Structure 1
Amino acid sequence: MDYFVYALEHIYTDDTHRDSKFLGYFDDLSEIEKEKQRLLFFRGFSDYPHDFHVKKIGLNKINWQNGFTEVVGEIGRDYLPQDDFIPDYSQVVTKLNLKTVFKVSHVYTIHAFLDDEREIGVFSDKKIANDVVNFLQQKVGFDEYPDDFIITEIMLNDWQWSAGFE
């Protein structure tokens, strides 16, 4: 069975730049609504109330399986399709009774003002996340920066942002 989590982001563009904020992973759309309503009390989010985005992210799916040969830039999640391909038979992770998921990313510094960031995937446990890192460390591009993987344990349906922005 294929599973997915919901990812909540806030992505806005103003006259000078585009900005993206990761707001959490969720297993329930009603929890996403609660989080959006909470965030609207903060400056920035309240200035851009229609710029919340929800995507389905496949669980235990590896992006960049073959490595990489070019820079994607500061917000490396932009390279991914707007919507990850989630088969119709997939189910939200609620049935797995997960409390947390493990996000794997790879970030290395190109120069003082630019990092190259890739979101590798979201995994159901730390062992799988570590196995993915070990696998990718051998691939083109990643093999030049093998120590720049980040594994982050993230609670489902939890606050990832607790302030506003300007």
Structure 2
Amino acid sequence: MDYFVYALEHIYTDETHRASKFLGYFDDPDKAENEKQRLLHFSGFSDYPNDFYLKKVGLNKINWQNGFKEVVGEIGRDYLPEDDFIPHYSQIVKKLNLKTVFKVSHTYTIHTFLDDEREIGVFSDEKMANDVVDFLKQKDGFNECPDDFIINEILLNDWQWSSGFG
């Protein structure tokens, strides 16, 4: 069975740059909407109220397998541009009764003050996340920077932001 989580992000562009803020993973779209409504009370988020994005992200799926050959997307951070392909038979992760998920990413330093981050995927347990990292460390583009993987345990339906920005 394939599963997915909802990822809530805020991505906006102003006169000088584009910025993204990861706001959390959710097992219910209503919980994500509640978080969006809470954040609309903070500066920055309230200035760009139409720039919240809720997308489905496949669970236990590797999104980047090729490593870093060049900077892609926005310099400084790379995103999945649209919803992940989720088969119609997939189910929301809520059915698994998970409390947390494990986000795997890899950061490539372009220069001293600029990194490009690839979001590898979201995994249901820490062992699977570590197995994915071990697998990718052998691949071209990742094997040159094997220590730059990041595994974050993220509580589902939890606040990732407690203030505004800007």
Which bracket does the TM-score occupy, shorter chain normalised? over 0.9
Structure-1-length-normalised TM-score: 0.95
Measure the CA separation in 2 of the matches of 1:57 and 1:71.
22
**3-state SS, counterpart of residue 121 of structure 1:** strand
What CA distance in whole angstroms lies between the structure 2 residues aligned with 1:163 and 1:45? 9
Structure 2-normalised TM-score?
Answer: 0.95
CA distance in structure 2 between the aligned counterparts of 1:103 and 1:61, rounded to whole angstroms = 11
Amino acid aligned to 2:153? E
How many residue pairs get matched? 164
CA-CA distance at 1:111 after TM superposition: 0.6
In the other structure, the counterpart of 1:51 is 51
1:85-164 to 2 correspondence within 5 Å? 85-164=85-164
List alignment gaps of at least 5 residues for structure 2: none
Q: Which residue matches 2:78?
A: 76
In the alignment, structure 1 segments of 5+ residues that lack a partner are none
Give RMSD over aligned pairs: 1.0
Match for residue 61 of structure 2?
Answer: 61
Moved more, 68-77 or 29-38: 68-77
% same residue: 78
Q: Give the secondary-structure state (helix, strand or coil) at the position aligned to 1:135.
A: helix
| Equivalent-residue separation in structure 2 for 1:69 and 1:50 (angstroms) | 34
